[in-house]
Structure 1
Amino acid sequence: MKRTAIAPVALAAAGLFSLAACAAPGTNPSTPLVPAAQAVAASETPAPLASIDVPPAPVTEPPTGELAAVETPEAPTPVPEPTVAKTQKWVKIYNGPSAKEVTPPKSITSGSKTVELNATENDDIGTYVADGAGRTLYRFDNDSNKPPKATCNGDCAKTWPPLLIKSPGKIFPKGIDPKILGYVERADGHCQVTINGWPVYYFSKDTEPGDIKGQGVKDTWFAVSPTGGKTSALPPAGN
């Protein structure tokens, strides 16, 4: 009898203990319990993060050998301003070409306040002087340079127009000694440019830059050299 009475009491006590162990708030009595140690470990282990595809960073290969030099654009070299080398009354003669562009007069008879003189190469006659437009300048044997005197006047000057300079004048030479440049007053009152005292002229039949059709005409007209002398005669035709 005592054993029979004890059994129900023991069973009831065991069930009460079981309920006390599984009925904590938020638990599901039907879910199998996890041992306490495992439950703590599980709660401390973070859930695995979802994998994120991150594109790999571009790989920059280290340079091999010497580093390439960085090219720095060079600043343009400024053209130095010419200075006055000589003054003849109202004409200033500079020691080099103008730093600013000069527009030569279209007409060879009009004259200008600004004159350019350039030493120019030619395979047949050597170095001669041309104006800023490339037009050949000549000297006349019947003129004189000591003292400077122009004798080509009237109809002669129509065929051989003088290089005139107006007041206030400027002369910019290239390849010519500025000290030997100047001007002479003509019989008609105009002023004509001189090289080493020799008055210089155009030839009316020269139509293109570099033409030397007046070379050797009447054996008295020659393209003027940078020193005021005569350039070489043209070679015979056919050579």
Structure 2
Amino acid sequence: MLVHSRIARTAIALASLAALAACAEEVTGAAAPATVSAPTVAAPTAAQATPSSTPESGTPPEVIDAPATPLAEPTVAKTQGRVRIYSGPSDVPLSPAPDTGRGSTVIQLNGTASADIDMYVADGQGRTLYRFDKDTAKPPTSNCNGDCAKAWPPLLVKSAGQIYPSGIDPKLVGYVERADGTCQVTIGGWPVYLFAKDAEPGDISGQGVGGTWFAISPTGERTAPLPEVVGTTTTAATR
């Protein structure tokens, strides 16, 4: 009986060792392989962001430029009658219809810097725009008609029209109906004009004329007077 008992215990022990060996083999095969290889990096897909590289490769990460952000389209900041005034300059080239005496369907207003008179407003062709002190801003009223309007042509917008201001608060832009029924652009309530004697873009020969005409600022105010030119006098030598 003692021998049989020892044989039984020995058989149980051997069976247990066999079981342990089987579990160890299963675990080793699943989680502890003899050779550990580097993880495989899947090729990046088109939907993934910038692909990365491993430090071991010695290759710097590839830099992919972000797509250029398209310019935001100007939005309508305000409307007056059938004229739409936009939040900024147009994002596409403009081709306004020719002015037939009633105005253009598209108007551009550009804040422009000057070393002589500070910031002023020009139209889309670079021509200086002026205000007349004998007009009023509240309410907007033009008092330049007849021969005055020949020397100082009003900037007219035709209905239905569009105005694109750059460097000017669109809320300050509008128009006033003139005595002849045309619509004159206003800035800060002031009707704006061109000057017939300005020959080239950027000319400001109308500045200070009669003490009442001044290039208009982006807020509708007068611009600074032209600096005075101080000449030198020569005295003839006397004997």
Aligned positions of 1:168-179 closer than 5 A: 168-179=160-171
Alignment-mate amino acid for residue 161 of structure 1: P
Identity across the alignment (%) = 60
Residue 124 of structure 1: aligned partner:
116
- Per-residue CA deviations over 1:71-93 (Å, capped at 9, x if unaligned) read 76775442210111111111111
The alpha carbon displacement at 1:235 in A equals: 0.4
Does the 8 A contact of 1:109 with 1:163 survive in 2? no
Aligned positions of 1:9-158 closer than 5 A: 75-103=67-95, 111-158=103-150
Does the 8 A contact of 1:94 with 1:173 survive in 2? yes
Change (3 A) 1:103 1:208: farther
Which structure 2 segments of 5+ residues have no match?
1-57, 232-239
TM-score (norm 2): 0.67
Determine the C-alpha separation between the residues in 1 that align with 2:100 and 2:132: 17
Determine the C-alpha separation between the residues in 2 that align with 1:161 and 1:141: 15
Aligned positions of 1:201-216 closer than 5 A: 201-216=193-208
Residue 181 of structure 1: aligned partner:
173
The alpha carbon displacement at 1:108 in A equals: 9.8
- Per-residue CA deviations over 1:14-54 (Å, capped at 9, x if unaligned) read xxxxxxxxxxxxxxxxxxxxxxxxxxxxxxxxxxxxxxxxx
Residue 6 of structure 1: aligned partner:
none
Which structure 1 segments of 5+ residues have no match?
1-65
Residue 190 of structure 2: aligned partner:
198
Determine the C-alpha separation between the residues in 2 that align with 1:69 and 1:208: 54
Determine the C-alpha separation between the residues in 2 that align with 1:104 and 1:214: 26
Determine the C-alpha separation between the residues in 1 that align with 2:126 and 2:102: 16
Q: Tell me the secondary structure at the aligned position of residue 156 of structure 1.
A: helix
Residue 217 of structure 2: aligned partner:
225
The alpha carbon displacement at 1:189 in A equals: 0.9
Does the 8 A contact of 2:97 with 2:105 survive in 1? no
Q: Tell me the secondary structure at the aligned position of residue 113 of structure 2.
A: strand
- Per-residue CA deviations over 1:153-209 (Å, capped at 9, x if unaligned) read 000000000000001111111111111110000011110000011000000011111
- Count of residue pairs brought into register by the alignment: 174
1:166 paired residue among 140, 148, 158: 158
Alignment-mate amino acid for residue 183 of structure 1: Y
Provide runs of 4+ in structure 1 moved above 2 Å. 66-77, 103-111
Determine the C-alpha separation between the residues in 1 that align with 2:201 and 2:191: 20
Residue 17 of structure 2: aligned partner:
none
